[in-house]
């Protein structure tokens, strides 16, 4: 039986239809950054989609204009571009972007720990999109969100939902911490293996520091052809691979391999072959780590963005050995320092690549170095896959754990 009590509609079995204003208190305290003694600033750029944890922050000195004030435990919700799905729990006394809402649970209706999970649910996300106003930068108004009504479970089911989602969230957080530590270890290991090698005890001085005695120091253009001539194919209907800048990731992987006819891309694009090393040359793509080892190409040939540099390894080096050098932090840092051009259009010049010096071990040791780093890459890939799968489980939980029908039909399975 449906009963109304003020703004709340009783749906039976303790479930209620509740306006959001009775679920969350809107905190509108404001401050000028230059007048606050708080140490942390949290902007929308510091929030990640689909995670409640804030992993980075700024300081009040970074920003101007009036900001909101948040306390530990408050929810920060990105009201601007809500399609990004940014909801997070504040961990500090902080000032917050005015393009967000600061919310605090109304615990008479909803348990404090449940509200941020509810705001990650598909139902809340869909409603946020529906009530956003504006085209270029859609924004949600509190007075509109406040009147939106949502189905809320009784407190005993709320506690059960919190238990399940907390377990899933803890699982994700632990794996993300493991991933972060593994990536830091990889950064150190890459640098160590590419400069100190495997199981050496005798070293010699060089212009890049000490390297093993049996290594040679060479410029990249001694061991690679840089930006080789464009590939030519007689049959212009031949299918080949195609890559845009968006098709390669910031951790130097191909994430999407398109197919095109040779005739469609033979002019106005950069060409490469199987096992060529791709390096993004324009800012901020280069600094962000964009690049790839070209593998599994259609007919062993690819074309792509004109903002790619191409390194083609000669016989004395393995392509993947060169690839790992291009992912090394030192390579990226020095490349950034050597960029030319105006702001926003800076590029790493070909001359930087030509003159960059690396240690060249015998091929047998190159294979060992690549084998070690490939093994670590597989570990990282497995962790990332595990995180992705666990997040998918969480998304599915967020769908049915807030559905009254699930408890009516599946109570024995919960």
Task: Give yes or no for residue 91 having a pLDDT over 80.
Answer: yes
Q: 343 and 404: one domain?
A: no
Residue 310: predicted pLDDT: 98
For 315-323, what is the mean pLDDT? 97
Pairing assessment for the beta strands 211-212 and 203-204 based on DSSP bridges: antiparallel
Task: Give yes or no for residue 399 having a pLDDT over 90.
Answer: no
Domain annotation covers residue 388 = yes
Task: Give yes or no for residue 340 having a pLDDT over 60.
Answer: yes
Residue 2: predicted pLDDT: 44
Task: Give yes or no for residue 414 having a pLDDT over 60.
Answer: no
Residue 14: predicted pLDDT: 87
Whether omega before 83 lies within 30 degrees of 0, making that bond cis, reads no
Residue 232: predicted pLDDT: 87
Q: 376 and 259: one domain?
A: no
Q: 161 and 138: one domain?
A: no
Residue 400: predicted pLDDT: 83
pLDDT in tens, 265-284: 999 999 999 999 999 999 99
Confidence of residue 261 (pLDDT cuts 50, 70, 90): very high
Pairing assessment for the beta strands 301-304 and 270-273 based on DSSP bridges: antiparallel
How many Å apart are CA 230 and CA 241, to the nearest integer? Answer: 14
User: What is the residue range of 118's domain?
Assistant: 4-152
Residue 343: predicted pLDDT: 79
Task: Give yes or no for residue 3 having a pLDDT over 60.
Answer: no
Domain annotation covers residue 41 = yes
Percent with pLDDT over 70 in the chain: 97
How many Cα atoms are found within 13 Å in the side-chain-facing hemisphere of 27? 24
* E-state strands within 85-154: 87-89, 94-96, 100-105, 149-152
In the chain, the number of structural domains is: 3
Q: 236 and 323: one domain?
A: yes
Confidence of residue 196 (pLDDT cuts 50, 70, 90): very high
For 151-156, what is the mean pLDDT? 93
- 7-16, 104-113, 401-410: least confident range: 401-410
Q: 75 and 51: one domain?
A: yes
CATH number reported for the structural domain that contains residue 185 in this entry: 1.10.287.1120
Domain annotation covers residue 280 = yes
Task: Give yes or no for residue 341 having a pLDDT over 90.
Answer: yes
Confidence of residue 411 (pLDDT cuts 50, 70, 90): very low
Which residue in the block uniquely carries the two structure tokens 């061991």?
223
Q: 367 and 302: one domain?
A: no
Confidence of residue 299 (pLDDT cuts 50, 70, 90): very high
Residue 136: predicted pLDDT: 85
Task: Give yes or no for residue 412 having a pLDDT over 60.
Answer: no
Confidence of residue 407 (pLDDT cuts 50, 70, 90): low
Q: 19 and 112: one domain?
A: yes
pTM (two decimals): 0.83
Q: 297 and 377: one domain?
A: no
Task: Give yes or no for residue 293 having a pLDDT over 50.
Answer: yes
How many Å apart are CA 219 and CA 84, to the nearest integer? Answer: 44
Residue 1: predicted pLDDT: 41
Q: 285 and 167: one domain?
A: no
Residue 409: predicted pLDDT: 52
Average pLDDT score over the chain: 93
Under 8 Å between Cβ of 224 and 356: no
Under 8 Å between Cβ of 160 and 414: yes
Domain annotation covers residue 121 = yes
* Residue 320: C-alpha distances to residues 134, 304, 317, 379 (Å): 48, 20, 8, 18
Domain annotation covers residue 32 = yes
Residue 408: predicted pLDDT: 59
Residue 410: predicted pLDDT: 44
Task: Give yes or no for residue 198 having a pLDDT over 70.
Answer: yes
pLDDT in tens, 214-236: 999 999 999 999 999 988 888 99
Residue 104: predicted pLDDT: 97
Q: 75 and 39: one domain?
A: yes
* Residue 1: C-alpha distances to residues 7, 109, 140 (Å): 17, 20, 33
Domain annotation covers residue 210 = no
Q: 145 and 223: one domain?
A: no
CATH number reported for the structural domain that contains residue 325 in this entry: 3.90.220.20
Residue 159: predicted pLDDT: 95
Q: 111 and 182: one domain?
A: no
């Amino acid at each position: 039986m449906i009963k109304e009590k003020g703004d709340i509609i009783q749906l039976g079995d303790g479930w209620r239809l509740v306006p959001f204003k009775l679920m969350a208190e809107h905190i509108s305290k404001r401050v000028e950054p230059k007048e606050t003694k708080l140490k942390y600033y949290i902007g929308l750029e510091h929030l990640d989609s689909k995670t409640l944890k804030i992993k980075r922050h700024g300081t009040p000195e970074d920003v101007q204009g009036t900001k909101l004030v948040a306390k530990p435990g408050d929810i920060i919700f990105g009201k601007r571009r809500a399609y990004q799905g940014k909801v997070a729990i504040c961990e500090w006394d902080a000032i917050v972007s005015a393009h967000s809402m600061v919310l605090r649970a109304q615990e008479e209706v909803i348990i404090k720990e449940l509200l941020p999970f509810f705001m990650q649910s598909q139902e809340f996300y869909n409603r946020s999109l529906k009530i956003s106003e504006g085209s270029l930068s859609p924004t949600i108004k509190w007075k509109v969100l406040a009147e939106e009504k949502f189905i809320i479970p009784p407190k005993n089911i709320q506690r059960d939902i919190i238990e399940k989602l907390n377990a899933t969230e803890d699982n994700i957080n632990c794996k993300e911490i493991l991933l972060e530590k593994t990536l830091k270890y990889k950064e150190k290991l890459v640098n160590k293996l590419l400069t100190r090698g495997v199981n050496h005890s005798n070293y010699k001085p060089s212009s890049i520091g000490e390297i093993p005695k049996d290594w040679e120091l060479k410029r990249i253009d001694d061991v690679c052809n840089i930006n080789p001539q464009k590939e030519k194919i007689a049959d212009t209907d031949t299918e080949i691979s195609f890559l845009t800048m968006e098709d390669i990731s910031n951790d130097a992987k191909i994430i999407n391999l398109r197919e095109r006819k040779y005739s469609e891309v033979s002019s106005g694009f950069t060409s490469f072959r199987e096992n060529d090393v791709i390096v993004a040359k324009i800012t901020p793509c280069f600094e962000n780590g964009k690049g790839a080892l070209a593998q599994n190409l259609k007919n062993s040939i690819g074309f792509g963005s004109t903002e790619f540099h191409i390194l083609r390894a000669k016989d004395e080096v393995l392509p993947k050995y060169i690839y790992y050098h291009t992912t090394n932090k030192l390579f990226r840092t020095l490349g950034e320092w050597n960029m030319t051009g105006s702001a926003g259009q800076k590029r790493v010049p070909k001359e930087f690549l030509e003159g960059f010096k690396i240690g060249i071990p015998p091929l047998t040791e190159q294979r060992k170095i690549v084998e070690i780093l490939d093994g670590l890459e597989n570990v990282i890939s497995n962790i990332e896959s595990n995180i992705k799968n666990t997040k998918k489980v969480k998304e599915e939980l967020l769908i049915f754990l807030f559905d009254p029908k699930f408890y009516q039909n599946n109570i024995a399975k919960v």
